[in-house]
Every structure is written in C-alpha cells, then in structure tokens.
Structure 1
Amino acid sequence: MRLALGVRYNGQAYQGWQSQLSGRTVQDKLEAALARFADRPISTLCAGRTDTGVHGLNQVVHFDTDIERTPFSWVRGTNRYLPPDIAVQWAHPVPDAFHCRASALARRYRYVLSQSPVRPSLDAGRVGWSMYPLDGDAMRAAAALLIGQHDFSSFRASACQARSPVKTLRRIAITQHDASPDGERCHWHFEFEADAFLHHMIRNLMGCLVRVGRGDARPEWIAEVLAARSRKVAAPTFSADGLYFVGPLYDAAWGLPPESTWQAEDAAYDGSP
C-alpha cells in the first residue's frame, strides 16, 4: 500500500528537510517516528525539500508499506514519537501511480516579514525582518513583472540541481497586516505559486522585492535582473526565517485533503503575464 502524509513543522531546530548524517533533519525525525510506530524501517519521499530554518505548513510525503492501519492510526501513532515541533496532519492511502513530487501540479510558499524599527523577539525565527518601511504598491508592481514563464537564473543558487532554470510563476500576492497607527510596524505576507521553484528562488526574489520596497530600486529594475540571467546582478539572498512551504497542489482525482487539491481559481491561470 502507498500512503501519503501531510506534515507540518517548525524548521528552526533542523538542518532542512533532507536526511543527513547528523540526524538533525525533519526527514530523519519523521522516518525514525514512522519506524517506531511500524516496528520496521520506512523510507519517505517529499514534495519539496526545504532548507535549514524553513518551515512546512503542508509538506506532503509518500511511502510504501505492507502494514495495515487506519489512516488516523498512522497520524496518531506517528505523532506519538515525533518531537513537539513536527506533527503529521493527515494520512491518506493513494494509488501506486501517485508520486508526491512528480504528481504535483504546483507548489506554494509564503514569506512572512515583520516591518519594525526593532528586531523580532517572540517570533524570532518565524518571521523575516525589515527595519525600514516598505512600499507595498512598488513591490506589487515589481512582482507583476515576474509572472509567467521565464528563465529565473538570476534568482537561482549556485548549488541548484534543477535541470532547467525555466519555471512558470503563476502568482505573487503581497498583503499588509496588523499595521500600527503610525505605519512603522506591520506584517507583510508574500504568497508565491509556481509549477516548481529553484533552490533559494523565493529568498532571492524576496531580496529583490524588499530592495524595491525600501525605495533602493525602482520596480522596473526587477525586469532587468530577470533579463540578465545572472545571480550577480540580483540582491543578496534574504533570511530563511520567515519562509514557509505552504505545500503542493494535486489533481482532485487523487482524493487528498482540500489544502492539497488544485482548485478552480488555480486552474484559471492562462500563462499570460
């Protein structure tokens, strides 16, 4: 039987998703918990690897097993052996043809940014930070120039292993929340959706959007960065602290929970900028 799981985690304490010799990764903790519950080794694949410090809201994994348990037993039994900052949210049997990575139609990320004269404290590690006020309209104008299918080499880490830098960025939504009366303090949410992302692509996009938001570059500059296809011309990579992997989207035919299902508003994208 092939089983899919939805996993949520706070990435602050971990060296990213992918298993390492240190054992201090989310995958290592999840597989150790699954092995204790199942009383045998279980190897997982994930929909999207996350880096050190990056959080997951609905990471989707799959694995094959001959153990018969109810879906909720997999949730409760696995969570019993997981640390407090990782929890399985749901479990669902899927056909053998399902692959958490290859079957995904799109992936979504959210970046949460605190705008404040003072650095984060209670939410340290869970939000990015700008000590300078940001211009939302300028950032939205810059973001609009990135929508569509492009070569995103300028936003690609040198260690990226993707076969092609060409990706289709379907959506960037930038919204302001919890603004103080004087306008100095607020939270910004940046929502990204694409068919796939390059290594550090979101954090490199964030560096450029924040530069525009601070007024250090005009919105049109981001189109120049995109056209250059060179990492050297873009802004520095932004902090991982406020980055969340919202999760992949799949065809509804797989029967996965709504938060993992491709909706009509997603399918409405026609590929135009």
Structure 2
Amino acid sequence: MNKTILITGTSSGFGAATANYFAAKGWNVIATMRDTTKNGNLEKSGNIFVTQLDVQDKNSIDKAIVEGINHFGSIDVVVNNAGYGLFGIFESASREAIQTQFDVNVFGAMDVTRAILPYFRSNRSGTIINISSGAGAIGFPMASVYSSSKFALEGWTEGLRYELVSLGITAKIIEPGGAMQTGFMSRVGGESAGLNLIEDYLPFLEQIGKVYGGMQGTADADAVEKVVHAIYEAATDGTDRLRYSPTDDIKPILNARRNTSEEEYQTFTNSIFLAK
C-alpha cells in the first residue's frame, strides 16, 4: 500500500514542489491550501488529492484530515509548510500583524499537529515535518518577528520530539536558507507588510539594503530542489534526526551559530549586518 503525506500550503513554493515530487515517487498526496482554485502549480495526478485547509481555521483542519483519510485510507506523514514572512522594522509592525504572523507560522502548525496526533498515536507511527528557516536559528535584521516565529516553531518541535518518541512518532525540522527562503531582497523595506516608515531608521535601512542586495548571488540556484529532497529524506530515512539544513547559503552562519563561541558568533554576524 502506498504511503500518504498531507502537506499544508501547496498552492505554490515548497508546498507545490513537495506535493509534485512525492506524487512522482508513488506517494499519495493530500495537497491542502486555503483556496483550492489556486492549484495550478500541482501536477495532474491521480495520487494528488486537493482539499481546502486554512491553518487559522480549526474546523477546516479537522475536515481536511478526515477527507484525506477517507480518500486514501491513511496518513503517514504531515508537512507543516504553510507560512509567510512579516518583514520590516519591528517598531513599525502592529500588534495585529505580529499576532497574525504567529497565528499562521506557529499556532497553525500546532493546530494541524494536535489534530493529527490522536490518529498517529492509534497507529503508533507517523512523522511530522515542520518547515522552518535559517531564520529559525538566527535572528536576521528586518525579520525579527518572522525569526521569532520560526524560533518558536523550532523550540516547540524539539520539545515535542521527546514526547512522541515512545509512541513511534517522529518530529523533524527543515531549515532552508535564510536569504532564499525569506525573500529579503525584494522586501527589505517592509513594503509587502504595509508597514509605516520611521525616518530614524533610514540610515540603517539604506545600509542593510546594501547587505541584502549583495546576498542576491549567494542563494542556491537549485534551492527548491534541495529543500524538497530534504523533506523526502526526512520522511523516508527512518531515523530520529531532528534538523535538516539542505541549502549551502545558510551553512556558514549556521556553523558560526552552533559551533563557535558567543563572542565569535557576534563578531562574525556584526561583520555581515553592521559593516560600515
């Protein structure tokens, strides 16, 4: 019997690419999205079932899980991919905007996971894969709110992992590259979030804009493919490995974060983000 994966946020990006890849590998795919009319990036395949799921709507989460199980007979893996980035100066972000960022990136993933866990527990098996970011390990300027949501996602996943081991359930994290995955270069001024500009920050914005502009050439050209392959590895390798960091662009700064002293790390990141 083919295994089945449920993926949130499959209308585009990592979600659509992951759905298509797993389907090509013979998996049954429950491809979920807020608006099912936006399914044009999915391959036409008999083993892709498209259904509506809004991570901010608990009823739609429960309904999608039931529909997916009824359609394919089981769910073996859940990928919490749905998310977005709020970019700009923290002081410019309203409380409502920050709340929505966490509602989608953190509480949405928690609600999907909470909804699937009784089913996984009854089967004594299952894998939960949460799509984080390099910004989930490193606080990037202009992305303090986004980073904090991904930090929360990673801390929750790591703690959850211990709770689920004895039940045969694994929880895993994918960390795509920061510059590539978060779209800093096109959003460095916070325009996409509709944030108000505070003039005192203009010198910083000019300086950091140059920094991120210089990163345009560092993103992996095949980043989406690498991320999709990492998700597939996490779903199939049969290990309890927690983190997968598939793109090369984020590895130097991840290495500095995790393998050097705090002083060395701060000096390194200051040289990147505070260079004159």
TM tier, shorter chain?
under 0.3
Structure with the bigger RCO (C-alpha within 8 Å, sep 6+) is 1
Taking structure 1 as the reference length, the TM-score comes to 0.25
Would you tell me which structure has more helix in proportion to its own residues? 2
Would you tell me which structure has more strand in proportion to its own residues? 1
